[in-house]
Amino acid sequence: SQTIHQWPATLVQPVGSPLSLECTVEGTSNPNLYWYRQAAGRGLQLLFYSVGIGQISSEVPQNLSASRPQDRQFILSSKKLLLSDSGFYLCAWSPGHGSYEQYFGPGTRLTVT
């Protein structure tokens, strides 16, 4: 069966510090991968998605970036965090190839102080 991991589970970082959040998927190959942000009490905002290694699409302009160095690894980064980057970050995967339901990881709670 497929599983999706995210780490860390929680993170407190000062403004201006760098960020690296990691997401890995097991039990499948060539998945579509997604990064979402969920602000407190709000819905989901799609940040990035990837259909393959090195292929990243950005949905909104921001100071975040994403990379996919391996087939089942998706990394969310920032060089300098802003207060507004605080939120709950969710990674998700979908099988692709006509099947697009998404399966979510447990999330990372980021607080920028």
Which of 35, 37, 42, 82 contacts other proteins by CB under 8 A? Answer: 42
The number of residues in the chain equals 113
Closest separation in Å from C-beta 98 to other proteins:
9
Which of 46, 67, 71, 73 contacts other proteins by CB under 8 A? Answer: 46
Considering the complex, state which of residue 17 and residue 21 has its C-beta at the smaller distance from other proteins: 21
Helix (H, G, I), strand (E, B) or coil at 85: helix
Considering the complex, state which of residue 42 and residue 80 has its C-beta at the smaller distance from other proteins: 42
Phi-psi region of 54 (alpha: psi -120 to 50; beta: other; left: phi over 0): left
Which of 26, 106, 111, 113 contacts other proteins by CB under 8 A? Answer: 106
Q: What is the total count of residues that contact other proteins (CB under 8 A)?
A: 20
User: Are 50 and 57 contacting, i.e. CB atoms less than 8 angstroms apart?
Assistant: yes
Q: Does 100 bind other proteins (CB under 8 A)?
A: yes
What's the CA dihedral at 90, 95, 26, 92 to 10 degrees?
0
